[in-house]
């Protein structure tokens, strides 16, 4: 399993690797006098370097980006600076990401990990099999405009279909689309709380209470509004349905 995870770095740094290629970790050189020298190939060094980027890459390739941005905007809209804390928001985002990505991860396990464990395919073949479900998920959430923009920047002007787009183009396009979608959802959540702030500010001004901060008065009303409409269930359900779950 560890070897399989390490090989995931090849998706980003060695897209030209085919399913029939092997990975040599150690090279042996025989000297004229019969002695042997051992050296680690640069390929292994590149793979280990790529391995350090895998956690960040997996986060940016899943639903985590959209969820954490929306939750951060929601906290700002309510007016709470430290509650829920960053640790709670990250934890909520991670577990909701696992929930949303569960069908994708199950497909990767059935089509790539399990055959690799059973020695039915090589590690590189398993890597290519695992790449397809992730690629299909990201393409389903990526706007064509963003995909075309990054493909043009990378020099891929002639692509027959989005499925032919390489991973190095899909990932930044996917992240850009996720940020765009997250800001749209966050804006929709922000409007009701903004209306509460405006109403409270207008009432305080009409009463002549200029020195009292509207934020202090509106905060309990915004929390009450959020609780009355079952806000957390609404937010989580909206985020899950935005990825096509329950549709």
b vs e for 55-70, b when ≥16 Cβ sit within 10 Å of the residue's Cβ?
eebeebbbbbbbbbbb
**Least confident window among 77-86, 89-98, 133-142, 186-195:** 77-86
Q: Chain-centre distance of CA 204, in angstroms?
A: 43
Q: Is 207 helix (H, G, I), strand (E, B) or coil?
A: coil
Residue 12's pLDDT band (cuts 50, 70, 90): very low
Q: 121, exposed or middle or buried, with CB in 10 Å at 0-12, 13-18, 19+?
A: middle
**Confidence band of 11 (pLDDT split at 50, 70, 90):** very low
| CB-neighbour burial class of residue 171 (10 A; exposed 0-12, middle 13-18, buried 19+) | buried
How far is the C-alpha of 50 from the C-alpha of 57, rounded, in Å?
10
Span 145-180, pLDDT tens digits: 888 888 888 887 776 777 777 888 888 899 999 999
Work out the mean pLDDT of the chain and round it to a whole number.
78
Q: Mean pLDDT over residues 182-201, rounded?
A: 89
Give the dihedral sign, CA 134/137/139/142: negative
Q: Which two tokens stand for residue 41?
A: 């190939």
Would you place residue 43 in the very low, low, confident or very high pLDDT band (cuts 50, 70, 90)?
low
Q: What is the pTM of this model?
A: 0.74
Tell me, what's the pLDDT at 18?
43
Q: How confident is the model at residue 32 (pLDDT cuts 50, 70, 90)?
A: low
| Higher pLDDT among residues 72 and 37, named by residue | 72
Q: What pLDDT is attached to residue 23?
A: 46
Q: How large is the average pLDDT for residues 114-121? A: 79
Share of the chain above pLDDT 70, in %: 77
Q: What are phi and psi of 37, to 5 degrees?
A: -120, 140
Give domain limits for the chain. Answer: 2-14+59-188
Per-residue model confidence (pLDDT) at position 181: 92
């Amino acid at each position: 399993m560890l070897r399989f995870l390490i090989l995931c770095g090849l998706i980003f740094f060695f897209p030209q690797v085919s399913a029939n290629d092997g990975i040599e970790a150690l090279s042996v050189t025989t000297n004229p006098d019969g002695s042997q020298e051992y050296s680690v190939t640069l390929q292994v060094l590149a793979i280990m370097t790529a391995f350090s980027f895998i956690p960040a890459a997996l986060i940016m390739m899943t639903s985590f980006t959209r969820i954490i941005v929306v939750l951060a905007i929601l906290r700002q809209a309510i007016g709470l600076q430290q509650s829920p804390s960053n640790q709670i928001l990250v934890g909520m985002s991670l577990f909701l990401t696992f929930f949303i990505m569960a069908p994708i991860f199950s497909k990767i396990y059935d089509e790539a990990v399990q055959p690799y464990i059973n020695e039915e395919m090589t590690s590189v073949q398993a890597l290519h099999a695992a790449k397809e479900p992730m690629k299909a998920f990201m393409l389903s959430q990526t706007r064509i405009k963003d995909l075309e923009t990054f493909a043009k920047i990378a020099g891929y002007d002639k692509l027959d279909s989005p499925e032919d787009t390489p991973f190095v183009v899909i990932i930044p396009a996917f992240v850009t689309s996720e940020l765009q979608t997250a800001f749209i959802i966050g804006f929709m959540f922000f409007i009701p709380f903004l209306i509460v702030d405006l109403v409270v500010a207008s009432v305080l001004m009409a009463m002549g209470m200029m020195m009292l901060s509207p934020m202090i008065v509106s905060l309990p009303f915004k929390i009450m509004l959020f609780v009355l409409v079952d806000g957390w269930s609404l937010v989580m359900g909206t985020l899950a349905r935005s990825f096509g779950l329950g549709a």
